[in-house]
Structure 1
Amino acid sequence: MFSTIKRILIGRPLKSSALGEQKLAKLKALAILSSDALSSVAYGTEQILLVLAVVGTVAYWYSLPIAAGVLFLLAALILSYRQIIYTYPHGGGAYVVSRENLGVTPGLIAGGSLLVDYILTVAVSVSAGADAITSAFPEFHDYNVVIASVLVIFITILNLRGVTESASVLAYPVYLFVFALVAMIAVGGYRIATGQISPDLHDPVGTAVPGITLFLLLRAFASGCSALTGVEAISNAIPNFKDPAPKNAARTLVLMGIILAVLFSGITYLAFYLGISPKADETVVSQIASTIFGRETMYYFIQATTALILVLAANTGFSAFPLLAYNLASDKYMPRMFLQRGDRLGYSNGIITLGVSSIVLIVAFSGMTEELIPLYAVGVFIPFTLSQSGMIIKWLRDKPKGWQLKLLTNAVGAVITFTVLSILFVTKFAQVWSVLIFLPIIVYIFIRINRHYQDVGSQLRLDNQTPAPHIKGNVIIVPVAGITKVVENSLTYARSIGDQVIAVYVAFDRESELEMEEKWRARYPDIRLVTLMSHYRSVTQPLTKFIDIVAAKAEEDSYAVTVLIPQFITKKSWHNILHNQSSLLLRTYLLYVKNVIVTTVPYRFKK
């Protein structure tokens, strides 16, 4: 039944040879990997205006030079990540760049930051989409958490079905959103150029603003940089592209940068020219669309596509998180399960982990993840800064052709991203202080996982200096609860593999002990029976003590000890609940006892 439901939801398993069919062309990749970055234009301008509003509407003209600064940083990031794509064509982005050029710890900080950031991407985006839905239908407001969780499950299943299927579904909403905003910017620009919109709605550029400070402008700039979240996703997901993957990824990155620049600058200019102020109950994009189109069809189309892309922005996390987890797992910093492809050739363990983590976050914060947005920004600017710094080290070390220009690009990017990161920490410390706690914990977990794998490797590795242990023979211990076909089946097998066979019976009273010894002598006179008395009706405790004694003696004499556990297998799985599971408990315990081999001899019932 489970396999049937799984096949309905996820689809039929794909052969490994079909992996090439799961690669993305540029247009689909743009939709699936850029949704987070493109959706950020819906709130990037608003974040700038919210800070400037502290000193009044007269300060809104500063949004234009601030937006120019954000675009300058965007250009630096696009050029930098384009270089990273060609330099590190196997993906990994900031994690790989930082680890190889700055060291293991900076690499793990970058990787941990991005993993958390992708979880936040899903939680924040889906919660924002759920808010948009419940704003339109207020009667469902109390079900925000349920709606958001269902949306996460839907996107998780969509990604489990495969990269190309999710891209095919998500491409339409993304491109409809781009079309809607480009149309709004074009119509707004036309109406401004033809004088249909009054120029008196805003204060002129250059107007003196009492109370404005450099710190406030830097804070507004840092807030506006929230429009740049998701830029790094393409460099993490290069293996998802069709060949030549680096070239296609680089072109997709540039195309995303151009679209993002057009939308962000257009919305910022329209917001300034129309004199738009942030409102608690209406977004800046909604106010612009309402002013340009009125509350007509086009306005509702823009609102619908904006709400949709806010939900689908979560898919960037589903595309990048599994690949980043794969890179970390390849380097033995995350569990090896993240290396495995699922039925549909995606890294399904990474997809499921991201989905579950996001739902936990949504439930923990009751769907109100506004407080997580500063963490969201910090989580992306830490790897931004580390990757830029790592590339500086690489150019200084390798000095390839044209390295000076590449070095300048990364140096500018590193200075700006570090400045933004510093401003975020200084101005929003009350909201982002937790990153100073959970990020070291994540790095510590990575290091402990790696240490475990190193220890396992050293113990598994063949060493010519250490000879294999010599085994003289095999002592078989068979726990028995009576004389049955199950026991006889196990004893027959024990005789075939052991030099000595010892049956062990645990009695709860003297009468049952004597009765068992008598029956045993009659049936198996050639097999030794050891009876143990248990005054407290425990089977496992006296049995394990006996096994420990035998194992210690056998080790001295270079004998192996095998505990052979008889186990009957019921015809129907539900029959298991009708029987005690003492054999399972015994096996579980013995697996952790040194110098003891544990094996099970099944006896299958026919009815």
Structure 2
Amino acid sequence: MFHKIKRILIGRPLRTNELHHQKLNNLKALAILSSDALSSVAYGPEQILIVLATVSMLAFWYLLPIAVGVLVLLVVLILSYRKIIFAYPGGGGAYMVAKENLGTNFGLIAGGSLLIDYILTVAVSVSAGTDAITSAFPPFHPFTVEIAVGLVAVITLLNLRGLTESATILAYPVYLFVFALAILIVGGLYQAVTGHVPANAHTAIGTPVIGINLFLILKAFSSGCSALTGVEAISNAIPNFKEPAPKNAAFTLSIMGLILGSLFSGVVFLAYWYGIAPSATETALSQLGSSIFGRNGFYYFIQAVTAMILVLAANTGFSAFPLLAFNLAKDKFMPRAFTIRGDRLAYSNGIITLGLSSILLIIAFEGHTENLIPLYAVGVFIPFSLSQTGMIVKWIRSKPEDWKSKLIVNLLGAFICYLILIIFFVTKFEHVWIALLFIPACIFIFQKIYHHYEDVGDQLRIDLSAKFDDMENTRNLVIVPVAGITKVVAQSLVYAKSLSEDVIAVYVGSSPEEIERMEKKWEKWQTGVRLVTIFSLYRSVTASLSEFIDTIKEKTNQSGTKVTVIMPQFITKKWWHSFLHNQTGFLILARLLKTKNVNITIVPYQLEK
């Protein structure tokens, strides 16, 4: 049943040699990896206005120079990540840059920050999209959490089906959003040029504003930089591109930067020109749409595609998280399960982990993740800062052609990113202080995982120059725990006798009468195998059997005899049948697995009905 459901939801398994079919062309990659960055146009300009509104509406003209600062940082980041793509074509982005140029711990800070940032991306984006849905349909408001969880589940399933299928489906809303905003900007500019917008709708540039200061401007600038979240995703997902992957990834990154910069600039200018003010009941984008087109069909189209892209911004996390987890796991800092491809050649464990983590976050915050947005921004600007610093070190060390101009770009980027981080920690400390606890905790966990893998490797490593021990003459004592006389036991005894002539069957009884009955049946059965019976006063089969095996092991170790325990186990035809039987065999197995110098073999007997 599970297999059939899995095939319906995920699809048929793909062969390894079909991997090239799962690579993304530039058109699909742009949609699936840019949705987070492009969706930020819906709220980035508004975040600037919210800060400026604390002074007065006269300060709204500062929106323009602040937006220019954001665009400068966008250009710097695009140029920097283009260099990172060619320098680190295996993906990993800020993690690889920081690890190679600044040291392992800095790499882990960048990697850990990005992993959490992608989880927050999914939770925040889906919650924002759900809010848009429930705002349009108020009766659904009590089911906000359920809707958000359902949306995450759908996006998770789409990604488990493979990159090409999810990209094909999710590309439409992204391009519809770009189309809608392009029409909005063109329509707004036309009305502005033709004089359809009142001259007093906006404050004149350069108007003196009482109460404005550098700190407030920097705070507004840092808030506007939330529009840059997701820019790094392409550098983390280079292996998802068709060959030549680095060239295609760099081209896609440039196109994304061009679209993002154009849409952001257009929305910022129109928000200023139309005198849009932040409102608790209506978004800035909604106000623009109604001002330019009125409450007609196109207005509702803009709102619909905006809600869709806010939800689908989560897909950027689903594309980048598994590959970043893969790179960390490859370096032994995360479980190796994250390096395994699933049936559809996607890194399924990374996708499932991201989906479940974001669902838990949505449930924990009951769908209200507004307070996570500052932490979300900090989570992406830490890797931004470290990647810029790492590239600075790289240029100084390697000194390639034109390294000075590259160095200047990264110095500027690092300065701005660190400045934004400082502003975030100063102005929104109550929301981002947890990052100061989380980052050291991440490094601690990563290091623990790494040391575990190193310890396991040291213990399992074989010196190939040493001669392989000849074990053919080693004596083997086989112990078969039996609970009665059944076909399961008979099959196990046959197998045990094929391994060794020295076989002991062990029966644990809770009363002398049980033991006597078992001994009589065994004698009548004539197996040729010696039966040892143990009386357990406290009815503990597991403890009694374990003590007997320990006793045998102590006696046989001196003679070099190996002890093997054969565990008879019947397997029910249907999964729910197993709950109708006691699990003594598995309890015994769990205890014996921790016993040193004892070999354990399970002999399954398949029930047919």
Q: TM-score, normalization: structure 2?
A: 0.97
Give the structure 2 partner of residue 273 of structure 1: 273
Give the structure 2 partner of residue 101 of structure 1: 101
Give the structure 2 partner of residue 231 of structure 1: 231
1:569 to partner: Cα distance: 3.6
Instruction: Find 2:581's aligned residue among 579, 582, 585.
Output: 579
Greater shift, 576-585 or 351-360, is seen at 576-585
Alignment of 1:61-140 (within 5 A): 61-140=61-140
**Partners of 1:139 and 1:446 in 2: CA distance:** 45
Q: CA contact under 8 A between 1:99 and 1:106: conserved in structure 2?
A: yes
Query: In structure 2, what residue type is equivalent to 1:507?
Result: G
CA deviation vs aligned residue, 1:239-260 (integer Å, no higher than 9, x gap): 1111111111111111111111
Kindly, what percent of the aligned residue pairs are identical? 64
Give the structure 1 partner of residue 460 of structure 2: 460
Query: In structure 1, what residue type is equivalent to 2:507?
Result: Y
Q: CA contact under 8 A between 1:473 and 1:499: conserved in structure 2?
A: no
**Partners of 1:240 and 1:576 in 2: CA distance:** 42
Give the structure 1 partner of residue 532 of structure 2: 530
Greater shift, 566-575 or 451-460, is seen at 566-575
1:469 to partner: Cα distance: 6.9
**Partners of 1:277 and 1:372 in 2: CA distance:** 24
Q: Secondary structure at the match of 1:54?
A: coil
Distance 1:423 1:350, change over 3 A: same
Give the structure 2 partner of residue 52 of structure 1: 52
Distance 1:585 1:191, change over 3 A: same
Greater shift, 565-574 or 299-308, is seen at 565-574
Give the structure 1 partner of residue 392 of structure 2: 392
Give the structure 2 partner of residue 38 of structure 1: 38
**Partners of 2:396 and 2:228 in 1: CA distance:** 27
1:520 to partner: Cα distance: 3.6
Q: Secondary structure at the match of 2:43?
A: helix
**Partners of 2:188 and 2:571 in 1: CA distance:** 74
Q: TM-score, normalization: structure 1?
A: 0.97
1:400 to partner: Cα distance: 1.1
**Partners of 1:248 and 1:303 in 2: CA distance:** 32
1:483 to partner: Cα distance: 3.4
Give the structure 1 partner of residue 605 of structure 2: 603
**Partners of 1:334 and 1:573 in 2: CA distance:** 32
**Partners of 2:351 and 2:527 in 1: CA distance:** 59
**Partners of 1:484 and 1:169 in 2: CA distance:** 55
Q: CA contact under 8 A between 1:271 and 1:288: conserved in structure 2?
A: yes
Query: In structure 2, what residue type is equivalent to 1:598?
Result: I
Give the structure 1 partner of residue 507 of structure 2: 505
1:323 to partner: Cα distance: 0.7
Are 2:311 and 1:311 aligned? yes
**Partners of 1:278 and 1:394 in 2: CA distance:** 43
Give the structure 1 partner of residue 565 of structure 2: 563
Greater shift, 565-574 or 80-89, is seen at 565-574
Give the structure 1 partner of residue 519 of structure 2: 517
Distance 1:587 1:210, change over 3 A: same
Are 2:477 and 1:475 aligned? yes
**Partners of 2:535 and 2:383 in 1: CA distance:** 64
Distance 1:605 1:302, change over 3 A: closer
Distance 1:195 1:573, change over 3 A: closer
Q: Secondary structure at the match of 1:203?
A: coil
Greater shift, 372-381 or 460-469, is seen at 460-469
Alignment of 1:279-298 (within 5 A): 279-298=279-298
Q: Secondary structure at the match of 1:212?
A: coil
Q: CA contact under 8 A between 1:13 and 1:343: conserved in structure 2?
A: yes
CA deviation vs aligned residue, 1:388-419 (integer Å, no higher than 9, x gap): 00011111111111111111111110111010
Q: CA contact under 8 A between 1:395 and 1:403: conserved in structure 2?
A: yes
CA deviation vs aligned residue, 1:415-465 (integer Å, no higher than 9, x gap): 110100110111000001111112221221111111111111111111268
**Partners of 1:319 and 1:606 in 2: CA distance:** 43
Structure 1 portions without partners, runs of 5+: none
1:518 to partner: Cα distance: 4.2
Distance 1:595 1:187, change over 3 A: same
Alignment of 1:190-269 (within 5 A): 190-269=190-269
CA deviation vs aligned residue, 1:57-101 (integer Å, no higher than 9, x gap): 111111111000000000000000000011111111000111111
**Partners of 2:295 and 2:606 in 1: CA distance:** 72
Greater shift, 555-564 or 513-522, is seen at 513-522
Query: In structure 2, what residue type is equivalent to 1:390?
Result: G
Distance 1:142 1:503, change over 3 A: same
Give the structure 2 partner of residue 421 of structure 1: 421
CA deviation vs aligned residue, 1:148-188 (integer Å, no higher than 9, x gap): 11111111111111111111111111111111111111111
Q: CA RMSD in A?
A: 1.6
Q: CA contact under 8 A between 1:470 and 1:558: conserved in structure 2?
A: no
**Partners of 2:113 and 2:171 in 1: CA distance:** 27
Query: In structure 2, what residue type is equivalent to 1:544?
Result: S
**Partners of 1:467 and 1:191 in 2: CA distance:** 86
CA deviation vs aligned residue, 1:14-57 (integer Å, no higher than 9, x gap): 12111111111111111110010000011111110111111101
1:582 to partner: Cα distance: 1.5
Distance 1:368 1:573, change over 3 A: closer
1:570 to partner: Cα distance: 4.1
Q: Secondary structure at the match of 1:209?
A: coil
Q: Secondary structure at the match of 1:600?
A: strand
Greater shift, 31-40 or 331-340, is seen at 331-340
Give the structure 2 partner of residue 592 of structure 1: 594
**Partners of 2:10 and 2:270 in 1: CA distance:** 44
Give the structure 2 partner of residue 411 of structure 1: 411
**Partners of 1:605 and 1:159 in 2: CA distance:** 37
**Partners of 1:575 and 1:197 in 2: CA distance:** 73
**Partners of 1:168 and 1:348 in 2: CA distance:** 19
Query: In structure 2, what residue type is equivalent to 1:416?
Result: I
Query: In structure 1, what residue type is equivalent to 2:89?
Result: P
1:551 to partner: Cα distance: 1.5
CA deviation vs aligned residue, 1:95-139 (integer Å, no higher than 9, x gap): 011111111101011001001000110100100111001001111
**Partners of 2:503 and 2:60 in 1: CA distance:** 89
**Partners of 2:27 and 2:528 in 1: CA distance:** 77
Greater shift, 200-209 or 595-604, is seen at 595-604
Give the structure 2 partner of residue 176 of structure 1: 176
**Partners of 1:34 and 1:77 in 2: CA distance:** 14
1:200 to partner: Cα distance: 1.4
Q: Secondary structure at the match of 1:196?
A: coil
Q: Secondary structure at the match of 1:191?
A: helix
Query: In structure 2, what residue type is equivalent to 1:481?
Result: A
